[in-house]
Amino acid sequence: MTLLTLNETADFLRERDGFLILTHRAPDGDTLGSAAALCNALRELGKSADLLVNAQTTAMYLADVEQYFSNANPDACTLIAVDSANASLLQYEYGDVMKHAPVALAIDHHPSHAEFADRTLLDPVKSSCGEIVLELIHALNAPLSCESAKLLYIAVSTDTGCFRYKNTTESTLLAAAELIRAGAPNGALNHRLFMVKRMSRLRLEAMMLATLELYIGGELAVATITRGMMRESGADVYDLEDVATVAGSPEGVEMSVTLREQQDGGTKVSVRTVNFGNANALCAYLGGGGHGMAAGATVEADLATTKSRILDAVNNVWKGDKYKL
């Protein structure tokens, strides 16, 4: 397993062909936008490149990326993973990673990244993989087409909450400006991605807020989403985009935790923080990970047990008497 520089990654891509790009489970705008932009850039260089179809792609992004989807055999391709911190997060279609050819290259920005690929391009300072892929396109001397700019704007804007999150930096805004100059329709994308919600999502948010519990003088908020709430609201996976931010809406909340009941009885945990930059450490306590301000984990336990474990994790990770429950 080798860590590559940007230029070394560009050389690797120039020397090879037949690329199949993997995204992660429950794909968001960053993994899909970054992967599709890289795929488009490689095609514009005359390379053969596709995205392995990800059946979990929601209607929010499907029209943007479906033209890149393929059911190609992973064993016959040069595999690239985009925005996956570890092999277990790769899309379900890839199956058991031990049964396939190894991932030749991973491109990621998660500080918790586990080096599962033969080669890794990692930049944990970047707000999104979109920023990394933009730099990689330049290193390849590939054109930054209007299509690639649109896809990368989706990646960068969604991973920064339309540039509201603390992971937004000067370089993020400069990257966004470059993408807009290259033709990304930022106004239309911002409206579609951040300003419009279905009624089912609004009903789900109301139900979530009714479950909200506050701890540590209102600095910790915990909300739950049950399977019954999903049915009653009419919500589906489309409505879960960025749902973890809802619990952090009340004034004074420093850390928010969203617990979502899974079909198999397990619980999905999503953590968001404001100034306490240890969401990653908190989720690592539960076997997950991510960023300092946003992280997640999947716990093989019911909601009540998972809630007890997350409160225990807060006591162990969020140090100091002030933060004891």
Q: How far are the Cα atoms of 28, 85, 127 from residue 53, in angstroms, in the given order?
A: 14, 19, 25
Q: Residue 324: pLDDT band by 50, 70, 90 thresholds?
A: very low
Q: Residue 90: pLDDT band by 50, 70, 90 thresholds?
A: very high
CA-CA distance, 223 to 213, in Å (whole number)?
A: 7
Q: What is the mean pLDDT of residues 229-233?
A: 98
Domains in the chain: ranges and CATH:
2-194 (3.90.1640.10), 199-323 (3.10.310.30)
Between 241 and 1, name the one with better pLDDT.
241
**In this structure, which amino acid lies at residue 287?**
G
Tell me what pLDDT residue 316 has.
82
For residue 18, report the phi and psi dihedrals to the nearest 5 degrees. 70, 50
Q: Are 14 and 140 in contact (CB under 8 A)?
A: yes
Q: Are 280 and 112 in contact (CB under 8 A)?
A: yes
Tell me what pLDDT residue 319 has.
59
Over 50: is that where the pLDDT of 2 sits? Answer: yes
For residue 117, report the phi and psi dihedrals to the nearest 5 degrees. -95, 165
What percent of the chain lies above the pLDDT cut of 70? Answer: 97
For residue 72, report the phi and psi dihedrals to the nearest 5 degrees. -60, 155
Q: Residue 325: pLDDT band by 50, 70, 90 thresholds?
A: very low
Indicate the average pLDDT of the chain: 93
What percent of the chain lies above the pLDDT cut of 90? Answer: 79
Q: How far are the Cα atoms of 204, 233, 236, 246, 310 from residue 199, in angstroms, in the given order?
A: 9, 8, 12, 15, 30
Least confident of 37-41, 66-70, 74-78: 74-78
pLDDT in tens, 166-221: 899 999 999 999 999 999 999 999 999 999 999 999 999 999 999 999 999 999 99
pLDDT in tens, 235-287: 998 899 889 999 999 999 999 999 999 988 899 999 999 887 688 888 988 88
pLDDT in tens, 146-156: 999 999 999 99
The vertex-151 CA angle with 148 and 157, nearest 5°, equals 130
